[in-house]
Amino acid sequence: MSELFKQAISKSRIMSESSKLPEGEIALITESEQVKLPQKKYFRQRAHSNPLSDHELDYPSNPAQMNWSQHYPKYITEEAQVKQVEVVDIGCGYGGLLINLASILPNTLSLGMEIRVKVSTYVRTRISKLRLQQSLQESAAGKTEVEEKKGDYQNIACIRANAMKHMPNFFRKGQLSKAFILFPDPHFKKQKLKWRVVSPLLLAEYAFVLAPDALVYTITDVLEVHEWMVKCFQEHPSFERVPASELADDPCYKATFVTTEEGMKVARNGGEKHPAVFRRIAD
């Protein structure tokens, strides 16, 4: 290990970086260790969770009460807010898309919302480690500010939250420019259709927090769920489907196919993926 790298991970540096991590996250790094990313096998949890049950969740009474500084310390402090969250990944899973959004949308704050305890903890830990890892590498290599913007992971965060219940608690009217609903739980049983993350009732809430011309990206490997989502969006007066021809050069659209754990699993098994993107129509 070079002397320069040893200096970069000195105790004072680690303590400085640790103070920027989300609450509950601690960087356990010594001078003789490199930053190690968390392993999924220690954070496995059942795929399905009842979104209508009373989970123990922390959420603000309204968007003005939300403290974003602990999640985006580079851009938001308790005294000033340079940026606001504009992109949300609903049910972000293990954060595959979210991590990629850091570089796809480098000047935008993106948020993953995940209801499962272990999974959301994994994503937060992963982001914290990536931030620290990137910071140490930049210090050692002497990267410029321009290069730093390519992916320091300061523009992404994850919270444990129930998007089906509390979207208006976190976001103001018209705040979001993009939303992602990727490989959602299918909930096949008739009595569980109300558990689906896309429904006529929920689309009204999504429409409230989405700005005019905002895009909602959906994809699933279950044809029935795809048809259900398309039907819900097309029948709702606040949305219209975006033609495939307009999406050919959209990096976010391309990322929905290949960045998530579920998407990669479908590809390995030779399954089909059914995408659809919808635009928020101005009221």
Residues classed as catalytic: 185
Beta bridge partners of 179: 88, 216
**Residue 171, Cβ neighbours under 10 Å: how many?**
23
Rounded CA separation 71/156 (Å):
8
- Residue 268 to residues 7, 88, 91, 131: CA-CA distances in angstroms? 43, 27, 22, 30
Listing DSSP states for 220-254 in one string gives: ES-HHHHHHHHHHHHHSTTEEEPPGGGSTT-HHHH
**Residue written as tokens 């994850």?**
158
| Side chain identity at residue 126, one-letter code | R
Q: Decide if 136 contacts 9 (C-beta within 8 A).
A: yes
- Residue 54 to residues 61, 96, 198, 199: CA-CA distances in angstroms? 16, 27, 20, 20
